[in-house]
Structure 1
Amino acid sequence: MKDRLLLLMTPNMSLQKWHELGQLSRELNYYTALCRSSGLKLLVFSYGRDDDEYLKGHADMEVLCIPGWISRKIPFKLQNLLYHIWALMFFREQFRRVVLSKTNQYSASGFGLILKAVFGIPLVVRMGYYYSHFLGLGFVKRIKERIAFRLCDLIIVTSNEASAFIKKNYGIRHEKILSMYNAIDLDLFKPSGTQKEYDFIFIGRFEKQKNIELLIQVLCGLNMKSLIIGRGSLSHVVLEAVRRTPSIEWKESVDNSELPLYYNKARSVILLSEYEGSPKVLLEGMACGTPGIGTSVPGTRECIDHGVNGVLVGNGEADIRKDILSWFNNLNELEEMGRKASDWVRLHCDMTKNIKGEIEFYGALPLFRSFTMQINQKVPSC
């Protein structure tokens, strides 16, 4: 019987890496709820090698991993190519039980299209971030995107700007694409009335996209109490700032389930990214009643209503500091923005509502409709 939802992880991503980044519980919580509501069981296509241990306690979930004979010493692209070819043969029984496959990010769509061609598995291309709508695209990438968006069955994006771009530039019909902000577990992320210990909190990867160097310059110049959680290729920039600036505190990793404590201890969530999709850190913080301070870029500006539930700033260090200080002069107004931030997330990002909307969206797939009909027939009537 076909009864599986196949989650296609981003190439080179694994449950182990999710765990190391503190994201595992957040992702598994969402898919646990999604599968419980739809009646499906989760099958994860991972690029890890020993990910089984991360699904302990999840009886209805299974993970497929790279076999040990594929050497770690060869380039990642070659590892992935060998893995894909091997998987088509040795995981064929698992694939034959799949009702639909869903990418975690766009980059997994290529293998998803192969599975659709070989096994007839409907493909949902989901993108937590999509930045082609404000970057200049080369000819080859445009062709790849056009093929992926035309051949897949459904598309889920987390940004209205991204949705509008895909519809306009690739001729995708309205019914095929769902724009839905990232889901937040509102039972976990909520205001607690905790006493404030930090003026700012930043959580994320220490990479260029997050504008880490600008963030550090701003925080060092303000000399206000800050908490930074994360790691990445620019960790040395953060570590140097921590050494010379006592007001900046750093934690390498905190599990997602523990983050509400830290959000509630902060007066604001700061995010100076060059681009975002639907930034989960910002939304989680807002859900806890912590207003956002962010650059006016796609993704972030869809979540922050300037002066209402947060503050949008420019890209210059001096101007950002000036804008922030002007808002911090009135802490009562900042608290009011926090209350409105929480209200906004409850309206737009409720995980329960998002899952219901996602399942309704899948109703366009004949194979999914057939599965739900079988499930309904098994449920005895009252």
Structure 2
Amino acid sequence: MQGVASNTVVLSSNTSWYLYNFRASTIQALLNAGYKVVCLSPADDYSQKLADLGCEWIPLPMDNAGTHPVKDLGLLWRFYRCYRKLKPLVVFHFTIKNNVYGTWAARALGIPAVNNVSGLGTAFIRSGVVAGVVRALYRLSQPFAYKVFCQNPEDLDLLKSRRLVPARRLALLPGSGVDLNRFNPGLLLARPNGSPLRVLYAGRMLADKGLHELIEAVQYINSKGVVCTLDLCGFAGVGNVSSIGDSLLQQWAQLPGVRWLGPSDNMPAVYANADAVVLPSYREGMPRSLLEAAAMGLPVVATNVPGCRHIVKHGENGLLCEARSAGALRHALEQMLEMTEVRRCAMGLAGRKRVEADFSEQRVVDAALNVVQSIEKTAQISL
């Protein structure tokens, strides 16, 4: 398509929030390497923050929750027009619709597309028409990608075994990684002796994250008095089929020991007030909250599902329990509650060592730079 080798790199997601919070380091590294970076995403409170990093931001109107074919064809056309105008060297896609429609547009213009599967999520753990459509869309689009990065071996094996992505195009990365300087144990705040165990859930407010089971478990534990507090931090009403709305969250916030914090732009400060982090999810890619918790030196309670079990080693840096079971989750939380502070601290430090060894954000940044440089070299040779 291109007559000269472009130095433009595009990153596209279904929210500006995602690109700013999870890919800012990659954007900065690309800019420092001399590339022009363009972010393509819907407008939200983080769009200007992307521009403030030094890249160009272009609005991408899209319906995150809908599955209307006409609207999605409109999204495909918007991708095509934008890529035709920018003539980028490579495009990086994040989240399902961007992975699918962005790849088709890039393919039509001869642009390499690098896609990131951040967990196979709701569409793959539920049955029904929507899940079937998503799997079909992946099968029809991902063979055209230059590279598809997965965040855990189970997702990679699933995409390969179901022939959703050719094996030669798949690669494994530790999620979006974690900034080991920004998240560190030195930020943790001391707590008075005898105070309740402070447990934090950080993430989207979704039923598929196991929040109903979590509330049930905490209610049981605190039925005779508050011995365990639970803070819920994240976005509500995010357009997912399993979204938990603001009204229910407000009801939960009336329960003894439960607080609904909403989203935060200062997650290190949120973690600093916790004694442990919980993620009772049904399935994950490589959960950022567990990486951040481990980097902070906090022990965790999580379900024994893909993604979670690649971060949490049971009895070493946290506890694993059965998914979709309030009883199993309650038992794990009670175990954490009964531990000495010394034991919880030892678990937290083990988690810190684990992320230092295997989940540094720099590995993710380097992988992106390596792909871009490889594509650039090939493009220059072909001129």
Amino acid at match of 1:39: G
Hey, what's the Cα distance between the residues in 2 that align with 1:158 and 1:115?
Answer: 24
Residue 288 of structure 2 corresponds to 280
Q: 1:330-361 CA deviation, whole Å, 9 max, x = no partner?
A: 22211111000111111111111222233334
Alpha carbons 1:328, 1:334 under 8 Å: kept? no
* C-alpha deviation, 1:263, in angstroms: 1.2
Residue 62 of structure 1 corresponds to 56
Q: TM-score with structure 1 length normalisation?
A: 0.81
Query: Which residue among 229, 232, 237 is the counterpart of 2:248?
Result: 237
Alpha carbons 1:220, 1:241 under 8 Å: kept? no
* C-alpha deviation, 1:40, in angstroms: 2.2
Find out whether 1:188 has 2:178 as its counterpart.
Answer: no
Residue 91 of structure 2 aligns to a residue whose secondary structure is strand
Hey, what's the Cα distance between the residues in 2 that align with 1:56 and 1:26?
Answer: 13
Amino acid at match of 1:9: S
Alpha carbons 2:149, 2:173 under 8 Å: kept? yes
Find out whether 1:7 has 2:6 as its counterpart.
Answer: no
Q: Name the count of aligned residue pairs.
A: 353
Which runs of 5 or more structure 2 residues have no equivalent in the other structure? 223-227, 238-243
Amino acid at match of 1:103: H
Say if 1:90 and 1:334 are closer, same or farther in 2 by CA, change over 3 A. Answer: closer
Say if 1:136 and 1:372 are closer, same or farther in 2 by CA, change over 3 A. Answer: farther
Say if 1:168 and 1:54 are closer, same or farther in 2 by CA, change over 3 A. Answer: same
Q: TM-score with structure 2 length normalisation?
A: 0.81
Residue 377 of structure 1 corresponds to none
* C-alpha deviation, 1:208, in angstroms: 1.6
* C-alpha deviation, 1:65, in angstroms: 1.8
Query: Which residue among 89, 93, 117 is the counterpart of 1:103?
Result: 93
Hey, what's the Cα distance between the residues in 2 that align with 1:288 and 1:50?
Answer: 27
Residue 253 of structure 1 corresponds to 263
Hey, what's the Cα distance between the residues in 2 that align with 1:236 and 1:211?
Answer: 18
Say if 1:178 and 1:253 are closer, same or farther in 2 by CA, change over 3 A. Answer: same
* C-alpha deviation, 1:219, in angstroms: 1.8
Residue 228 of structure 1 corresponds to 232
* C-alpha deviation, 1:287, in angstroms: 0.7
Counterparts of 1:1-382 in structure 2, within 5 Å, are 2-10=6-14, 14-15=15-16, 18=17, 25-36=20-31, 38-48=33-43, 53-59=48-54, 61-66=55-60, 78-85=70-77, 88-89=80-81, 92-94=84-86, 96=87, 98-131=88-121, 141-170=134-163, 175-182=168-175, 183-192=177-186, 193-196=188-191, 199-223=198-222, 224-233=228-237, 234=244, 235-245=246-256, 247-255=257-265, 258-314=266-322, 315-331=324-340, 332-362=342-372, 365=374, 367-370=375-378
Hey, what's the Cα distance between the residues in 2 that align with 1:154 and 1:56?
Answer: 26
* C-alpha deviation, 1:237, in angstroms: 2.7
Hey, what's the Cα distance between the residues in 2 that align with 1:329 and 1:180?
Answer: 35
Say if 1:140 and 1:171 are closer, same or farther in 2 by CA, change over 3 A. Answer: closer
Hey, what's the Cα distance between the residues in 1 that align with 2:78 and 2:165?
Answer: 33
Say if 1:57 and 1:155 are closer, same or farther in 2 by CA, change over 3 A. Answer: same
Say if 1:352 and 1:90 are closer, same or farther in 2 by CA, change over 3 A. Answer: closer
Hey, what's the Cα distance between the residues in 2 that align with 1:236 and 1:269?
Answer: 24
Amino acid at match of 1:327: M
Residue 45 of structure 1 aligns to a residue whose secondary structure is strand
Q: 1:105-153 CA deviation, whole Å, 9 max, x = no partner?
A: 2321232233223321101121111247766687655443223232211
Residue 154 of structure 2 aligns to a residue whose secondary structure is helix
Residue 52 of structure 2 aligns to a residue whose secondary structure is coil
* C-alpha deviation, 1:163, in angstroms: 1.1
Alpha carbons 1:227, 1:250 under 8 Å: kept? yes
Say if 1:362 and 1:238 are closer, same or farther in 2 by CA, change over 3 A. Answer: same
Residue 364 of structure 2 aligns to a residue whose secondary structure is helix
* C-alpha deviation, 1:285, in angstroms: 0.9
85-94 vs 318-327, which deviates more? Answer: 85-94
Residue 31 of structure 1 aligns to a residue whose secondary structure is helix
Which runs of 5 or more structure 1 residues have no equivalent in the other structure? 374-382
Q: 1:183-236 CA deviation, whole Å, 9 max, x = no partner?
A: 111110111142147520011221221122111111222231222112424233
When the two chains are superposed, the root-mean-square deviation of aligned CA atoms in Å is 3.1
* C-alpha deviation, 1:282, in angstroms: 1.3
Hey, what's the Cα distance between the residues in 2 that align with 1:9 and 1:357?
Answer: 18
Say if 1:56 and 1:102 are closer, same or farther in 2 by CA, change over 3 A. Answer: closer
Percent identity reads 18
Alpha carbons 1:295, 1:312 under 8 Å: kept? yes
* C-alpha deviation, 1:91, in angstroms: 6.0
Alpha carbons 2:47, 2:57 under 8 Å: kept? yes
